[in-house]
Amino acid sequence: MTWLFNPPAPVALSIIGRQALFPVRRILCVGQNYAAHAREMGADPTREAPFFFAKPCDALTTEAEVPFPSATENLHHEVELVCAIGGEGADLSPAAAGNLIIGWAVGVDLTRRDIQAEAKSRGRPWDASKGFDHSAPCGPLTLGALPNPGGAIALAVNGEMRQSARLDQMIWSPAEVVAQASRLWRLMPGDLIFTGTPEGVGPVVRGDRIEAAIAGLAPLTFTLT
Ligand code: MN
């Protein structure tokens, strides 16, 4: 096999306590999965089926420095629990979907809120607001069951708490989110699913230090440069 040019390097997450890396295939994200965040975005937090958007897998970054994106005056942080998929399946029950989740990480769904607001108002797609380069900072994976399903999820900017909630405040549990996703895509090993953010999203600027944490998981810290 020869290539016209070199294929891109695989995108990977490190795994706590393991030498092996998790190869990332695809990043799916769920919108408005905490009632208080749905309300702060002007939506009705009823238990409608969750909706999804995607980020390209090379939007993932594990670097301590994340470049501030172009073309936005209103970059927002969204701390999220990330599910790592380790098996294949489609049209799954929540129980079967839960069995596909082999690990967990802390992620931040960086969002160009100004571009997203324009897209929403004009009925345009979200790609430029959600799927830009370096838009998915993510910490290392912890394999196994979620250590503390009712535990804290939080994000601080320059030491000031901005988001503070509990994982059991999700409208749809991680297994339910993965089950819903599996009705829309055949899930495969290497897929990551961002499960939505709690309330308290807000703007960040160049130089800000962002610390994201979920009970029992390795924290994620990065600086916008
Ligand atoms: Mn999000």
User: Are 85 and 99 a contacting pair, CB within 8 Å?
Assistant: no
Q: How far is the CA of 76 from the centre of ligand 1 (A)?
A: 10
Q: How far is the CA of 79 from the centre of ligand 1 (A)?
A: 7
Residue 102 lies in domain: 18-224
Q: How far is the CA of 77 from the centre of ligand 1 (A)?
A: 9
Q: How far is the CA of 29 from the centre of ligand 1 (A)?
A: 6
pLDDT at 8: 94
Say how many domains are in the chain. Answer: 1
Cα separation, 44 vs 40, in Å, equals: 10
Q: Which run of H or of E encompasses 183?
A: helix 174-184
Q: How far is the CA of 6 from the centre of ligand 1 (A)?
A: 32
Residue 63 maps to a domain: yes
Residue 9 maps to a domain: no
Query: Where do runs of H (alpha helix) occur along 17-169?
Result: 35-40, 94-100, 113-122, 127-130
Residue 113 maps to a domain: yes
pLDDT at 49: 85
Q: How far is the CA of 121 from the centre of ligand 1 (A)?
A: 18
pTM strictly above 0.75: yes
- Going by the DSSP 8-state scheme, the letter that residue 174 receives in this structure is H
Confidence bin at 53 (pLDDT 50/70/90): very high
Among candidate residues 106, 103, 107, 124, the one with its CA nearest the CA of residue 115: 124
Residue 4 maps to a domain: no
Q: Which of 17-26, 32-41, 65-74, 117-126 has the lowest mean pLDDT?
A: 32-41
Residue 13 maps to a domain: no
Indicate whether 211 pLDDT > 80.
yes
Find tokens 């596909």 and name the residue.
100
Residue 11 maps to a domain: no
Q: What angle do CA 106, 107, 110 make, to 5 degrees?
A: 155
User: Are 216 and 146 a contacting pair, CB within 8 Å?
Assistant: yes
Cα separation, 129 vs 43, in Å, equals: 18
User: What is the Cα Rg of the chain in Å?
Assistant: 17
pLDDT digits (tens, 9 = 90+) for 143-198: 999 999 999 999 999 999 999 999 999 999 999 999 999 999 999 999 999 999 99
Q: How far is the CA of 159 from the centre of ligand 1 (A)?
A: 21
Residue 8 maps to a domain: no
Q: How far is the CA of 91 from the centre of ligand 1 (A)?
A: 23
Cα separation, 42 vs 46, in Å, equals: 12
Mean pLDDT of 54-65: 98
Q: How far is the CA of 110 from the centre of ligand 1 (A)?
A: 8
Mean pLDDT of the chain: 97
Residue 193 maps to a domain: yes
Confidence bin at 47 (pLDDT 50/70/90): confident
CATH number at residue 217: 3.90.850.10
